[in-house]
Structure formats: structure tokens, C-alpha cells
């Protein structure tokens, strides 16, 4: 009996750990489902961010690089990130739409740049040059030139474009967007609350951030 006691204890500990993990996972999943049912997108890891992690307000965008309205709000979001510091964190997630011929490739380009620490430089350049590459029949040469413009290691950049890692990053963003009911871009959430289409403009977004900032200051 004495010899078997340690094995019994180990077995009991393993069983308790398994049960606790299962309960925790189910509770977390239930909380996420309840939040989504209430129209609230809970914070999650991943994406690319600007601003402090402990900011009072988080603005999360699901964007497509070939989407003209996304290009329209990108500059305003950068200005807001500076204006509202240290109270605003901006998170960008890829959500390339099938209707746009080059959107998936552009997302791969941005994520490949991100692997060299230059996601935002490529993000901004893709939107700034959107009117040129979005109407091109062949974009590889243009995207390679953008990579050179921001100082990327081109050999590594081309290799990363073909990697599973960048595809998984984009897939993870898309999965989160679909779980939140995202169907078009830009789709923007401020502290988990979706911004209605009519407010997807600099004034509407600024007002939404101001409202959340004031709400948090009052609490």
C-alpha cells in the first residue's frame, strides 16, 4: 500500500488539474459567448498595436488594404493615437475580403514586414499607395519595391511571404473577426463595442473614444 500511495496521490493531482482546467476553459468560453451575444468583443492577444497596453480605451480595427474606406480612416487613427495618449491603444487586424483581388497578398506583405519589425511602416505605405497598386494587374514588383523603400531584407521578405507563419497570423485575425460577426471593412470596436457604419469617420471615431475615456474617468 505504501508503495502505491505516491501513484495514487499523483493520479489524484492529475485528475484535479484536469477537472479544474476543463471548468476554467468552459467558464471562459461561456463568458466569451455571452459577451458576443451582448455585442461586446472581449480583448484578446494578437494583432498589431499602437499605444500603451494599459490604456483606458482600446480601438480594434478589422481592415483590408484594398478597401478605400479603410485607407480613409487610417490617417485619422494615427492622429488619434497621438492625440489621446496615454489613454488610447489601437489594434489592427487583417480581414482581407475575397472581392478585392490583391487584398490577401497585401496582408501577407504587411505581416512579412512585421516579422522584421516594420509592420506599421508597410501598413501606412500600402494605404498611401492604395490607388496605384489596387488597380495593377501584377503587384509583386510593386510590393517588392515597397519592401525596399522601408529597408527590409528583401531575401528574407520574399521567403517570409511564402511561410505558414504569416498565413496563420492572418487566419487568426480573420477567425476573430468572423466570431464577432465582421462582414465588411472597416469594422471597428471601441472597448469591445462595435461602431455603427454612420460613425466610421474621424469625428464619429473621436467621439466614441472620448465617450469611453470619460466613462472610465468617472469610474
The answer, yes or no, to whether residue 41 has pLDDT greater than 70, is yes
Least Cα distance to 68 among 185, 183, 172 occurs for 185
pLDDT confidence bin for 37, thresholds 50/70/90:
very low
E strand map for the chain: 48-50, 57-63, 88-94, 187-190, 193-194
Average pLDDT across the chain, whole number = 87
Q: Which pLDDT score, from 0 to 100, does residue 30 have?
A: 44
Q: What pTM value is reported for the model?
A: 0.82
Amino acid at each position: 500500500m505504501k508503495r502505491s500511495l505516491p501513484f495514487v496521490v499523483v493520479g489524484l493531482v492529475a485528475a484535479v488539474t484536469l477537472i479544474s482546467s476543463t471548468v476554467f476553459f468552459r467558464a471562459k468560453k461561456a463568458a466569451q459567448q455571452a459577451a458576443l451575444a451582448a455585442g461586446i468583443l472581449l480583448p484578446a492577444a494578437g494583432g498589431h498595436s499602437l499605444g500603451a497596453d494599459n490604456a483606458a480605451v482600446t480601438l480594434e480595427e478589422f481592415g483590408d488594404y484594398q478597401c478605400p474606406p479603410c485607407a480613409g480612416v487610417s490617417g485619422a487613427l494615427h492622429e488619434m493615437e497621438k492625440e489621446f495618449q496615454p489613454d488610447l491603444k489601437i489594434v489592427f487586424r487583417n480581414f482581407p475580403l475575397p472581392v478585392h483581388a490583391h487584398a490577401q497578398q497585401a496582408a501577407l506583405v504587411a505581416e512579412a514586414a512585421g516579422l522584421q519589425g516594420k509592420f506599421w511602416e508597410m501598413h501606412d505605405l500600402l494605404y498611401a499607395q492604395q490607388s496605384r497598386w489596387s488597380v495593377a494587374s501584377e503587384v509583386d514588383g510593386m510590393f517588392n519595391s515597397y519592401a525596399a523603400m522601408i529597408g527590409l531584407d528583401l531575401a528574407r521578405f520574399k521567403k517570409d511571404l511564402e511561410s505558414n507563419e504569416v498565413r496563420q497570423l492572418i487566419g487568426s485575425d480573420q477567425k476573430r473577426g468572423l466570431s464577432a460577426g465582421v462582414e465588411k471593412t472597416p469594422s471597428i470596436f471601441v472597448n469591445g463595442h462595435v461602431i455603427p457604419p454612420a460613425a466610421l469617420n474621424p469625428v464619429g471615431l473621436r467621439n466614441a473614444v472620448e465617450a469611453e475615456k470619460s466613462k472610465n474617468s468617472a469610474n
